[in-house]
Amino acid sequence: MEPGGHRPAEKRGGGRRRCVILSVAAGLLLVTVAVVLGLTLRQKADKLRPTFMARCKGFKGYDCEKIWEEFTQAYVGQDPCKVPMEAYDPLVAAAPLKSSCNRIMLWSKTKEMVHDFTKKKDCFITLEDTVLGFVLDGLTWCGKEGSSETFTTSCPGWTECENNPVRSFWKRASAAFADVACGDVTAMLNGSITTPFDPKGIFGSIEVKRLNSTRVSSLNIVLVTQKNAVANCRNTSLKDLQKVLDVGITYNCTEVAESQILECSSNPEIPCGACW
């Protein structure tokens, strides 16, 4: 110590320099973390377009660039909880669905079963087998007010708000899919839950109500059951389904064991009609 108990001036200055250096280092660390995080989020968002385009190009006769443009205009720059299903009208117009008689397969809470079946049996098509359904199946996206970017993280969940971009898309696409249904329509429902028909789900609130008796002659319910099935074709919710079905559409219900569907789908010699 110097006389008087004070540190030499250069030592006091050295302490200040160390503080400045530490402050600068901390600042640089925060900037680095922010940049890395920003790049990571951007990279995740940038993956949506390549995935979208790669899937789209597997379908012939579609202008994938136009479809992408109409897709993004629905939600980019918008509040992610204020994207109504009508925002996707231009997208549906850019990739119109073709009328398909006797081959439409709707579903509710049986996604894996249905898609395993349609993948192995070329007699039914689901929404996810069409260009729009296939391109966006399993993906998440949203925009933000004041931003021109697409985000794939921190987007509202399915039930977080009614008009989120993903939910609104599937509602609009499902409506378009039901609109092209004609002849006999099949729907695979889950017999392992107490209410196979959910009036608030997309099948109940959108698809069933879009089935028109001028085009559709029958709705055939395939109720998939397991050993511990809790529902059958006499289920109260299925009676509610019949009540909302357009007058003139014949209603049928068949209880089919999951094992039977799996066996049938794996045997190419068994025709689809014999699966249930």
pLDDT in tens, 174-213: 999 999 999 999 999 999 999 999 999 999 999 999 999 9
- What is the number of domains present in the chain? 1
Helix ranges (DSSP H) in the chain: 9-46, 48-56, 64-73, 89-94, 111-120, 131-136, 165-179, 202, 208-210, 236-244, 258-265
52 occurs within a structural domain? no
Q: Residue 104 burial (CB < 10 Å; 0-12/13-18/19+)?
A: buried
117 occurs within a structural domain? yes
50 occurs within a structural domain? no
List the CATH number of the domain containing 87. Answer: 1.20.82.10
Q: Which domain does 84 fall in, by range?
A: 62-267
For 135-179, write each residue's pLDDT tens digit: 999 999 999 999 999 999 999 999 999 999 999 999 999 999 999
70 occurs within a structural domain? yes
